[in-house]
């Protein structure tokens, strides 16, 4: 197998991984968007828990119990929407950042493949440099 074929194979491997990473990033961004939308809609909807206002005419222990339970329900749901949802969003963002870093590393390997291809075009005098570059690319791909 010639060095040109090896470089073509490495380019295909890098391109495939970039495509895979981009697909994962896209799915994560979609999930994040859906969570943010659901959070915004839910925060608006839970305001209905506080309605109707009890006012001065509804008093006593039943009124107090109802108001306490209603407030507890509101606080519980709001805590989930603020805390848990924000946690999910941060987790997704962390995964996106990691995948973006992986994509950046793959772009560096892609550039190294371009350099090796340029060296290969120089002929036999650059053969050792091409082999060294291929070894460098393989270490980056399989480490």
CA 66 to chain centre: 42
How many residues are recorded in the chain? Answer: 143
pLDDT tier at 1 (50, 70, 90 boundaries)?
low
CA gap 46, 72 in Å, rounded = 12
| 59: DSSP letter | -
CA gap 21, 34 in Å, rounded = 20
Element (H, E) at 122: none
pTM of the model: 0.76
State the sign of the Cα–Cα–Cα–Cα dihedral 61, 64, 69, 70: positive
The region, left, alpha or beta by phi > 0 then psi within -120 to 50, assigned to residue 60 is left
Q: Quick one: tokens of 72?
A: 């507890």
In this predicted structure, what is the pLDDT of residue 52? 81
21-70 pLDDT tens trace: 999 999 999 999 999 999 999 999 998 988 887 777 778 888 888 889 99
Which alpha helices (DSSP H) does the chain contain, by range? 3-45, 61-79, 85-121, 127-142
Neighbour-count burial of 35, counting CB atoms closer than 10 A to its CB (0-12 exposed, 13-18 middle, 19+ buried): middle
95-142 pLDDT tens trace: 999 999 999 999 999 998 888 888 777 776 777 787 888 888 888 888
Q: Domain ranges for the chain, please list them.
A: 3-50+61-142
């Amino acid at each position: 197998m010639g060095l040109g074929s090896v470089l073509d194979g490495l380019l295909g491997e890098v391109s495939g991984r970039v495509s895979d990473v981009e697909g994962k990033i896209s799915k994560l961004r979609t999930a994040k968007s859906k969570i943010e939308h659901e959070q915004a809609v839910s925060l608006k909807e839970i305001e209905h828990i506080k309605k109707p206002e009890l006012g001065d005419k509804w008093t006593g222990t039943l009124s107090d119990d109802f108001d306490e339970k209603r407030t507890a329900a509101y606080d519980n749901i709001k805590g989930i929407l603020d805390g848990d949802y924000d946690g999910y969003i941060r987790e997704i963002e962390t995964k996106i950042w990691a995948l973006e870093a992986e994509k950046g590393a793959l772009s560096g390997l892609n550039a190294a493949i371009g350099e090796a291809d340029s060296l290969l075009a120089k002929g036999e005098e650059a053969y050792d440099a091409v082999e060294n570059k291929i070894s460098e690319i393989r270490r980056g791909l399989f480490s």
